[in-house]
Amino acid sequence: SQQGEEDPQALSIQEGENATMNCSYKTSINNLQWYRQNSGRGLVHLILIRSNEREKHSGRLRVTLDTSKKSSSLLITASRAADTASYFCAPHPGANSKLTFGKGITLSVRP
């Protein structure tokens, strides 16, 4: 198994600005997933990008994946105060492998 390492650990931005969060991992993956967590409870699945994809969009979210650099980024455009949360990446190795998480990124969006 492997876990992603998110960077930075904390990010504070003004409402309306874009937020970029990065994730690095060590071994080959089948897919990589991003999750959001509000107030220490259950995580919400945001987006999944497969190893043969380079970029994926979902609303204000844009995820990129560079398998040669073993890295991914999550971009939130036109941030809102409601985007304030912790964000986690989860690189998934594939068949019969467990999904593990890093420590996450704490994003604060100031109104």
Q: What is the largest CA-CA distance in the chain?
A: 43
CA–CA separation, 57 and 47 (whole Å): 8
- Name which of 15, 86, 82 is nearest 74 in CA terms: 86
Q: Is 96 in the site for other proteins (CB under 8 A)?
A: yes
Does residue number 58 form part of the binding site for other proteins (CB under 8 A)? no
Nearer residue to other proteins within complex by CB, 4 or 76 = 4
Interaction of residue 12 with other proteins, rule CB under 8 A: no
Site residues for other proteins, 15-34, by CB under 8 A, read 30-31, 33
Q: Which helix (H) or strand (E) holds 22?
A: strand 19-24
Using CB under 8 A as the binding rule, whether residue 57 contacts other proteins is answered as no
92 binds other proteins (CB under 8 A): yes
